[in-house]
Structure 1
């Protein structure tokens, strides 16, 4: 549970970006020149995306497998979808401001960050990572 965050107002893209960038070693990148960046962890070219920010959604690694990630689709069929191109690897797009509670959206980013950092070689994991 992400305690006390509900008093900050609803999760929008600015708050989501701030939450993502608050993670150890997180940094924004815009490889496709979209309106919103992706957020990566790890050094430079070896950095890996853990969040795709959109104007009204966030793309996250929702599980190590599609079966685990599908739990989001079952719980929130109107607000969770399989991400195009990389969905088969457990990535989902979650709508902001819909049926998914804000604390669950923030926890989804936390889980995505954890899954991505755990996949990095130990020498590339950021200082402050407590996994």
Structure 2
């Protein structure tokens, strides 16, 4: 998965938008909250409600998942792209991060779900 594909996938989420809060660092947000830190070779996502849940990624992918600096204690991990973690699992991690962040938003700031067209 390329950084552009990663960012494009993040933008498929309802209410998602890209921001550059720090020069050269692109993040995906919903409302005013970050749900993915996008990078050239990795993505930072909320991998669980707490550190214990997020540690499952570290156990499964010890060379490609790491506790995120500063945010790690809150369940955020950095997942390396192009390694042992399949792209579909990275997309699943983005989905889960988005859902965890949206669940914490006040109802007034939660985006409307896209209609199901199936």
What SS does the corresponding residue of 2:21 show, helix, strand or coil?
Answer: coil
What CA distance in whole angstroms lies between the structure 1 residues aligned with 2:3 and 2:78? Answer: 13
- TM-score (ref. length: structure 2): 0.94
What SS does the corresponding residue of 2:22 show, helix, strand or coil?
Answer: coil
Alignment correspondent of 2:48: 63
From 101, 115, 127, give the equivalent of 2:86.
101
Aligned counterparts, 1:1-131, within 5 A: 11-34=1-24, 36-42=25-31, 47-128=32-113
Higher strand proportion (structure 1 or 2): 2
- TM-score (ref. length: structure 1): 0.85
Unaligned 5+ segments in structure 2 are none
> Stretches of 4+ moved more than 6 A in 1?
none
Q: Tell me the matched-pair count.
A: 115
Aligned residues: CA RMSD = 1.2
